[in-house]
C-alpha cells in the first residue's frame, strides 16, 4: 500500500470548481442554504449567510495568507 495515498483527501468541491462552473451552488453544512460557489470563493471560503468556514486545503490556505510568490517551502520531506 502506498502510504502517501492514504493521507490524500478527496477533492474539495469548492476548490476544484473552475471558472466555468462558478454558477454552481452547494449547500452550507451549517445554515443549509444553497449558495453559489463564486459567492463563497469571493468571501474567502466563508459562508456569506452564516459565517461557516468551509474546509480549505493547505496549498490554498498558504496562497490566502502569504504575498504572491513570497512563500518558500522548506523541509518538504518532513511531511
Ligand atoms: Zn451557511
For the chain, which residues make up each domain, given as ranges? 23-68
22 vs 73, more confident = 73
Distance 23 CA to ligand 1 centre (A): 17
Question: pTM (2 decimals)?
Answer: 0.66
Q: How high is the pLDDT of residue 9?
A: 58
pLDDT of 39 over the 90 cut: yes
Distance 60 CA to ligand 1 centre (A): 20
Q: Which of the pair, 67 or 21, is modelled with greater confidence?
A: 67
Looking at residue 4, its pLDDT comes to 62
Q: What is the pLDDT of residue 8?
A: 59
Of 12, 9, 52, 45, give the one whose Cα is nearest residue 28. Answer: 52
Q: What is the pLDDT of residue 23?
A: 82
Amino acid at each position: 500500500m502506498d502510504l502517501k495515498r492514504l493521507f490524500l483527501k478527496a477533492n474539495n468541491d469548492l476548490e476544484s470548481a473552475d471558472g466555468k462552473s462558478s454558477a454552481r451552488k452547494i449547500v452550507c453544512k451549517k445554515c443549509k442554504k444553497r449558495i453559489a460557489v463564486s459567492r463563497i470563493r469571493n468571501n474567502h471560503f466563508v459562508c456569506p449567510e452564516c459565517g461557516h468556514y468551509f474546509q480549505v486545503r493547505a496549498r490554498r490556505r498558504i496562497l490566502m495568507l502569504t504575498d504572491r510568490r513570497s512563500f518558500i517551502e522548506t523541509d518538504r520531506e518532513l511531511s
